[in-house]
Structure 1
Amino acid sequence: MGEAAISTQIIRARVTDQARVWVSAVTIPLLLLAPAFWNGYPLLQWDTGGYLARWYEGYLVPSRSTVFGLYLHYGEDSGFWLDLGIQALATLWILQLTLRVFGMARPWRLLGVSLALILTTALPWLASMLLTDIFAGLAVLSLYLLVLHGDRISAVEKFALFAFTAFAAATHSATLGVLFGLCCLGWIARLLLPGRFDISCLVGGTLTIAAGALMLLAANFALSGQWAWTPGGTGVAFGRMLQDGIVARYLRDHCPQARLKLCPYRDELPATADAFLWGDSMFNTLGRFKGMDDEMGFIVTHSLAEYPLWQAEAALAATAQQLADVATGEGSSDWIPHTYGIIERYIPAQTKPMQAARQQHWGLDFAPVNWIHVPVALGSMLAVFGLFAAAIWRRRLDDLGLLAATVSFALLGNAFICGVISGPHDRYGARMVWVATLTVMIAAFRQFDDDNEVEEDSLPLREEIQHA
Structure 2
Amino acid sequence: MSDDVSTPIPRVRRVEFASAWIVALVVPLLLLMPAFWNAYPLLQYDTGGYLARWYEGYLVPSRSTVFGLYLHFGESSYFWINLGVQALATLWILQLTLRLFGIRTPLRIVAVCLALILTTALPWLTSMLLTDIFAGLAVLSLFIVVVQGDNISRLERGLLMLFTAFAAATHSATLGVLLGLCCAALLARPLLGRRIPLGGLVRGLTALAASVAMLLAANFALSGQLAWTPGGVGVAFGRMLQDGIVARYLNDHCATQALKLCPYRAALPATADDFLWGQSMFNTLGRFQGMDDEMGFIALHALADYPAWQAEAALAATAQQLTHVATGEGTNGWIPHTYGIIERYLPGQVAAMRAARQQHWDIDFPAINRVHVPVALGSMLLLTVILGNALWRRNLDDLSLLSATVCLALIGNAAICGVISGPHDRYGARMVWLASFVVLIAANRWFDHDSPHGRRDRKSSTPSL
Query: 1:309 corresponds to which letter in structure 2?
Result: A
Displacement of 1:368 after TM fit?
0.9
Query: 1:180 corresponds to which letter in structure 2?
Result: L
Output the CA distance in 1 between the equivalents of 2:284 and 2:37.
Answer: 41
Displacement of 1:409 after TM fit?
0.1
Displacement of 1:453 after TM fit?
2.5
Provide, for residues 133-152 of structure 1, a one-character-per-residue CA deviation record: whole Å limited to 9, x for no partner. Answer: 00000000000011111121
Report the equivalent of 1:229: 228
Output the CA distance in 1 between the equivalents of 2:89 and 2:286.
Answer: 40
Displacement of 1:396 after TM fit?
1.9
Report the equivalent of 2:153: 154
Relative to 1, partners in 2 of residues 1:262 and 1:143: Cα closer, same or farther, differing over 3 Å?
Answer: same
Output the CA distance in 2 between the equivalents of 1:414 and 1:245.
Answer: 23
The answer to whether residue 330 in structure 2 is matched with residue 331 in structure 1 is yes
Displacement of 1:303 after TM fit?
0.4
Q: Secondary structure of 1:267's partner? A: helix
Report the equivalent of 2:97: 98
Query: 2:50 corresponds to which letter in structure 1?
Result: Y
Report the equivalent of 1:84: 83
The answer to whether residue 119 in structure 2 is matched with residue 120 in structure 1 is yes
Output the CA distance in 1 between the equivalents of 2:113 and 2:193.
Answer: 35
Provide, for residues 156-191 of structure 1, a one-character-per-residue CA deviation record: whole Å limited to 9, x for no partner. Answer: 000000000000000000000000000001111111
The answer to whether residue 314 in structure 2 is matched with residue 322 in structure 1 is no
Query: 1:22 corresponds to which letter in structure 2?
Result: W
Query: 2:336 corresponds to which letter in structure 1?
Result: P
Q: Secondary structure of 2:194's partner? A: coil
Q: Secondary structure of 2:334's partner? A: coil
Output the CA distance in 1 between the equivalents of 2:450 and 2:108.
Answer: 12
Provide, for residues 245-290 of structure 1, a one-character-per-residue CA deviation record: whole Å limited to 9, x for no partner. Answer: 0000000111132110000000000000000000000000000000
The answer to whether residue 216 in structure 2 is matched with residue 217 in structure 1 is yes
Tell me, yes or no, if the aligned pair for 2:147 and 2:196 is still in contact at 8 Å. yes
> Where do residues 204-283 of structure 1 align in structure 2 (5 Å cutoff)?
204-283=203-282
Displacement of 1:455 after TM fit?
7.3
Relative to 1, partners in 2 of residues 1:364 and 1:8: Cα closer, same or farther, differing over 3 Å?
Answer: same
The answer to whether residue 209 in structure 2 is matched with residue 201 in structure 1 is no
Output the CA distance in 1 between the equivalents of 2:456 and 2:359.
Answer: 55
Provide, for residues 193-213 of structure 1, a one-character-per-residue CA deviation record: whole Å limited to 9, x for no partner. Answer: 122221111100111111101
Q: Secondary structure of 2:279's partner? A: coil
Question: Which shifted more, 202-211 or 420-429?
Answer: 202-211
Report the equivalent of 2:395: 396
Report the equivalent of 1:20: 19
The answer to whether residue 375 in structure 2 is matched with residue 341 in structure 1 is no
Relative to 1, partners in 2 of residues 1:142 and 1:46: Cα closer, same or farther, differing over 3 Å?
Answer: same
Instruction: Report percent identity of matched pairs.
Output: 70
Output the CA distance in 2 between the equivalents of 1:282 and 1:455.
Answer: 63
Report the equivalent of 2:351: 352
> Where do residues 165-180 of structure 1 align in structure 2 (5 Å cutoff)?
165-180=164-179
Tell me, yes or no, if the aligned pair for 2:318 and 2:423 is still in contact at 8 Å. yes
Report the equivalent of 1:183: 182
> Where do residues 140-151 of structure 1 align in structure 2 (5 Å cutoff)?
140-151=139-150
Relative to 1, partners in 2 of residues 1:456 and 1:184: Cα closer, same or farther, differing over 3 Å?
Answer: closer
Displacement of 1:386 after TM fit?
1.8
Report the equivalent of 2:39: 40
Output the CA distance in 2 between the equivalents of 1:51 and 1:3.
Answer: 64
Tell me, yes or no, if the aligned pair for 1:20 and 1:107 is still in contact at 8 Å. yes
Query: 2:301 corresponds to which letter in structure 1?
Result: H
Tell me, yes or no, if the aligned pair for 2:448 and 2:454 is still in contact at 8 Å. no
Q: Secondary structure of 1:194's partner? A: helix
Output the CA distance in 2 between the equivalents of 1:442 and 1:214.
Answer: 35
Output the CA distance in 2 between the equivalents of 1:48 and 1:133.
Answer: 11
User: Between Structure 1 and Structure 2, how many residues are aligned?
Assistant: 457
Tell me, yes or no, if the aligned pair for 2:383 and 2:403 is still in contact at 8 Å. yes
Relative to 1, partners in 2 of residues 1:253 and 1:455: Cα closer, same or farther, differing over 3 Å?
Answer: closer
Report the equivalent of 1:300: 299
Report the equivalent of 2:136: 137
CA RMSD of aligned residues (A): 1.3
Displacement of 1:452 after TM fit?
3.6
Output the CA distance in 2 between the equivalents of 1:141 and 1:87.
Answer: 15
Question: Which shifted more, 186-195 or 216-225?
Answer: 186-195
Report the equivalent of 1:461: none
Tell me, yes or no, if the aligned pair for 2:44 and 2:331 is still in contact at 8 Å. yes
Output the CA distance in 2 between the equivalents of 1:407 and 1:454.
Answer: 27
Q: Secondary structure of 2:248's partner? A: helix
Report the equivalent of 1:371: 370
Query: 2:77 corresponds to which letter in structure 1?
Result: S
Provide, for residues 5-37 of structure 1, a one-character-per-residue CA deviation record: whole Å limited to 9, x for no partner. Answer: 222211221111111111111000000000000
Q: Secondary structure of 2:373's partner? A: helix
Provide, for residues 314-350 of structure 1, a one-character-per-residue CA deviation record: whole Å limited to 9, x for no partner. Answer: 0000000000000000000140010000001011111
Output the CA distance in 1 between the equivalents of 2:122 and 2:98.
Answer: 17
Output the CA distance in 1 between the equivalents of 2:38 and 2:195.
Answer: 46
Tell me, yes or no, if the aligned pair for 1:328 and 1:430 is still in contact at 8 Å. yes
> Where do residues 375-390 of structure 1 align in structure 2 (5 Å cutoff)?
375-390=374-389
Displacement of 1:449 after TM fit?
1.9
Q: Unaligned 5+ residue runs, structure 2?
A: 458-465
Query: 1:361 corresponds to which letter in structure 2?
Result: H
Displacement of 1:3 after TM fit?
2.7
Output the CA distance in 1 between the equivalents of 2:243 and 2:166.
Answer: 34
Tell me, yes or no, if the aligned pair for 1:170 and 1:213 is still in contact at 8 Å. yes
Query: 1:381 corresponds to which letter in structure 2?
Result: M
Q: Unaligned 5+ residue runs, structure 1?
A: 459-468
Query: 1:114 corresponds to which letter in structure 2?
Result: C
Tell me, yes or no, if the aligned pair for 1:333 and 1:365 is still in contact at 8 Å. no
Q: Secondary structure of 1:104's partner? A: coil
Relative to 1, partners in 2 of residues 1:199 and 1:457: Cα closer, same or farther, differing over 3 Å?
Answer: closer
Query: 2:227 corresponds to which letter in structure 1?
Result: A
Query: 1:39 corresponds to which letter in structure 2?
Result: N
Displacement of 1:52 after TM fit?
0.3
Q: Secondary structure of 2:267's partner? A: coil
Query: 1:213 corresponds to which letter in structure 2?
Result: V
Report the equivalent of 1:442: 441
